[in-house]
């Protein structure tokens, strides 16, 4: 399945049953391509963030396409790169200062919003969802969101919305 | 030459960085990429949990399309592991958020040795033969080839000097298996030494053919000797799920050709392990 437009979140489940953000994907990404390759069990759950358009490609046709365009190696590289990224989102960022973690998540959400997303500047996560994704408390997130508003990276309350992309990048260390 | 001895300057761990194909970046974006380099480095250090080491660096010397960084020697093992991986991940993230005009790919060299270090900010900070070696390693053909022969998902190719490898990896300080590194001879200008290649996220030809292209095989095999203190058991290579040809040019001069779905060993020399059956090469004994 190919994401044609819109954003999705890839979720896993912790042993205790809690949902875990693994990765964010957007237009141009493939979903379910690992399942098509093997008989392995389900590795993750995908939830849409926006109204999305997907292209569903039968495995045989996809393989034929890869063969015809001599893209098997490119596809293999893509799968390997994705596998290495499919770890707990918050572990990826574990060593960053808290403000950076939050800014990085918001920057990624903003960057993956394509032209079809109705309100690309709006952060599609609640503060609680940001806190859950990053393993932080809601009050800590509120504190740092306040700081991002002070620098002008985010709009003033009540909407959670990116106001200045350059300021958000600077806060993210990008 | 003056026969009086002079005190050796302090040893520093050094990191050399070079952006691949910088001249291929459109001119109007080159300054943007140059400005991004220290930002990438800082965030990669942070990502690796080495923020304090970044703050404690002795020198940072930009070169337009790269940089050289001098750090306290204690950090040397961490530059190999986890820094190289953190840098790959950081460049992945920058691509995901479209931070750069073109996705960045880098060559990185890791070295250790005596360089001038007065704690000041003069241009001569970090000078010496060890600094030059750090730059020469970056220009070595084997590490350049790694990025040429891999796909865009391989964003970092590293070359570790023999001295840094012996001190940080063979000793176990880097917590990294020595057999994940490929030893290569390096010849750049008057610099000649052995060095070790490491790629955090190999792709393309690096997976199907290994870190050294087949054409180089004959040329380098004769040059291979074990580093001091390195025993043969420490350079065992593992290849898994291989399609295509894998070659190893080391002490055993072993060549395997894999064909078909079951990866049958069709040709080979040296000790071979195939399921429960083992063939020990004792022809030379």
pLDDT (tens digit per residue) in A34-47? 776 665 666 788 99
Chain B residues within 8 A of A107 when measuring between CB atoms: 97
Residues A161 and A148: beta-carbon distance below 8 Å = no
Are A95 and B48 inside 8 Å of each other by CB? Answer: yes
Q: Which residues of A touch B152 (CB under 8 A)?
A: 77
Please give the pLDDT value at position A80: 86
With beta carbons under 8 A apart, name residues in chain B contacting A94: 49
Is residue B257 pLDDT above 80, yes or no?
no
What's the pLDDT score for residue B247?
A: 45
pLDDT for res A87: 78
| Percent of chain B whose predicted confidence (pLDDT) is above 90 | 59
ipTM of model: 0.93
Of A93, A100, A111, the CB nearest to B97: A111
Q: Give A94→chain B minimum CA distance, Å.
A: 8
Residue B258 has pLDDT above 90, yes or no: no
Q: What is the pLDDT, as a whole number, of residue B1? A: 62
Interchain proximity A169–B94, CB inside 8 Å: no
Name the pLDDT band for A88 (thresholds 50, 70, 90): confident
State how far residue B226 is from chain A, nearest Cα, in angstroms.
32
What pTM was estimated for this model as a whole?
0.82
Which stretch of A6-20, B58-72, B215-229 has the lowest confidence by average pLDDT?
B215-229
Q: What is the pLDDT of residues B93-121, one digit of tens each?
A: 999 999 999 999 999 999 999 998 776 76
Check residue A158 and give its pLDDT. Answer: 84
Assign A67 to helix, strand or coil.
Answer: helix
In three-state secondary structure terms, B92 is helix
pLDDT at residue A145, as a whole number: 97
Say whether pLDDT at B182 is over 60: yes
**DSSP 8-state secondary structure symbol assigned to residue B258:** E
Contacts of A80 in chain B (CB under 8 A): 153, 201, 203, 207
Q: State the DSSP code for A41.
A: P
Rounded average pLDDT over A58-78: 92
| Integer Cα distance of B182 and B152 in angstroms | 21
Write down the number of H helices and E strands in chain B: 9, 12
How confident is the model over B142-160, as a mean pLDDT? 96
Q: Are B172 and B112 in contact (CB under 8 A)?
A: no
| Chain A contact set for B47 (CB, 8 A) | 93, 95-96
Question: Quick check: B46 and A169 CB within 8 A?
Answer: no
Nearest CA among B70, B68, B60, B63 for reference residue B22: B63
pLDDT at position B46 is: 97
Closest alpha carbon to B219 in B163, B159, B284, B145: B145
Segment A99-115 mean pLDDT:
97
| DSSP β-bridge partners for residue A154 | A162
Does the beta-carbon distance from A85 to B48 stay under 8 Å? no
A74-88, A93-107, A136-150, B21-35: the lowest-pLDDT one: A74-88
Q: To which H or E segment does residue B187 belong?
A: strand B182-188
First to last CA, chain A: 31
Res. B140: pLDDT tops 50: yes
Q: Is residue B98 within 8 angstroms of chain A, CB to CB?
A: yes
* Nearest CB neighbour to B204, from listed A77, A100, A169: A77
Distance separating alpha carbons of residues B207 and B246, to the nearest angstrom: 9
Q: Is the CB of residue A77 less than 8 Å away from at least one CB of chain B?
A: yes
Half-sphere exposure of B189 (CA within 13 A, CB side): 7
Contact B203, B150 (CB under 8 A): yes
Task: Examine the pLDDT at B142 and tell me if it is beyond 50.
Answer: yes
User: Cβ contacts of residue B208 below 8 Å, gap of 6+?
Assistant: A73, B242, B243, B244, B245
Residues of A in contact with B42 (CB under 8 A): 173
Residues A95 and B51: beta-carbon distance below 8 Å: yes
Nearest to A81 among B43, B47, B201 (CB): B201
Q: What is the mean pLDDT of residues A64-84?
A: 89
- pLDDT value at residue B215: 60
8-state DSSP, A30: B
Q: Which residues of B touch A112 (CB under 8 A)?
A: 96
C-beta atoms of A174 and B43 within 8 A: yes
Within an 8 Å CB–CB cutoff, is residue B244 touching chain A? Answer: no
* Mean pLDDT within B22-49: 95
Q: For a pLDDT cut of 70, what percent of chain A falls above it?
A: 95
Answer whether A111 touches B (CB < 8 Å).
Answer: yes
């Amino acid at each position: 399945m190919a994401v044609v437009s819109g954003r999705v979140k890839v979720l896993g489940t912790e042993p205790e049953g809690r949902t875990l953000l693994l990765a964010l994907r957007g237009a141009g990404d493939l979903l379910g391509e690992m399942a098509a390759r093997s008989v392995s069990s389900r590795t993750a759950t995908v939830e849409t963030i926006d109204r999305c358009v997907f292209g569903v490609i039968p495995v045989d046709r996809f393989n034929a396409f890869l063969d015809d365009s001599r893209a098997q190696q490119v596809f293999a590289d893509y799968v390997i790169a994705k596998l290495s990224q499919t770890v707990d989102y918050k572990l990826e960022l574990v060593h960053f200062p808290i403000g950076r973690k939050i800014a990085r998540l918001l920057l990624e959400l903003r960057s993956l919003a394509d032209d079809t997303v109705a309100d690309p500047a709006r952060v599609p996560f609640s503060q609680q969802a940001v806190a859950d994704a990053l393993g932080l408390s809601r009050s800590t997130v509120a504190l740092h969101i306040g700081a991002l508003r002070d620098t002008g990276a985010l709009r003033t309350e009540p909407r959670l919305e990116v106001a200045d992309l350059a300021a958000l990048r600077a806060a993210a260390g990008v | 030459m003056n026969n009086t001895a002079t005190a050796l300057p302090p040893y520093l761990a050094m990191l050399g960085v070079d952006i691949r194909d910088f001249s291929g970046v459109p001119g109007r974006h080159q300054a943007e990429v140059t400005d991004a380099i220290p930002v990438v480095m800082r965030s990669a250090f942070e990502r690796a949990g080495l923020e304090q080491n970044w703050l404690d660096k002795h020198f940072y010397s930009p070169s337009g399309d790269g940089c050289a960084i001098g750090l306290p020697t204690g950090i040397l093992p961490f530059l190999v592991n986890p820094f190289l991986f953190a840098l790959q991940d950081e460049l992945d993230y920058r691509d995901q958020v479209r931070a750069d005009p073109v996705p960045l790919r880098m060559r990185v060299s890791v070295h250790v040795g005596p360089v001038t270090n007065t704690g000041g900010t003069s241009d001569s900070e970090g000078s010496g033969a060890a600094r030059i070696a750090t730059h020469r390693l970056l220009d070595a053909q084997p590490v350049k080839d790694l990025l040429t022969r891999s796909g865009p998902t391989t964003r970092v190719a590293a070359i570790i000097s023999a001295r840094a490898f012996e001190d940080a990896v063979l000793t176990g300080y880097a917590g990294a298996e020595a057999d994940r590194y490929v030893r290569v001879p390096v010849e750049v200008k008057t610099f000649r030494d052995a060095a070790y290649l490491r790629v955090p996220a190999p792709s393309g030809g690096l997976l199907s053919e290994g870190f050294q292209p087949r054409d180089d095989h004959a040329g380098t095999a004769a040059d291979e000797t074990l580093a001091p203190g390195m025993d043969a058991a420490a350079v065992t290579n593992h290849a898994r799920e291989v399609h295509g040809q894998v070659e190893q040019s080391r002490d055993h001069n072993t060549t395997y050709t894999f064909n078909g779905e079951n990866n049958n060993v069709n040709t080979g020399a040296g000790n071979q392990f195939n399921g429960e059956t083992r063939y020990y090469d004792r022809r030379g004994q």
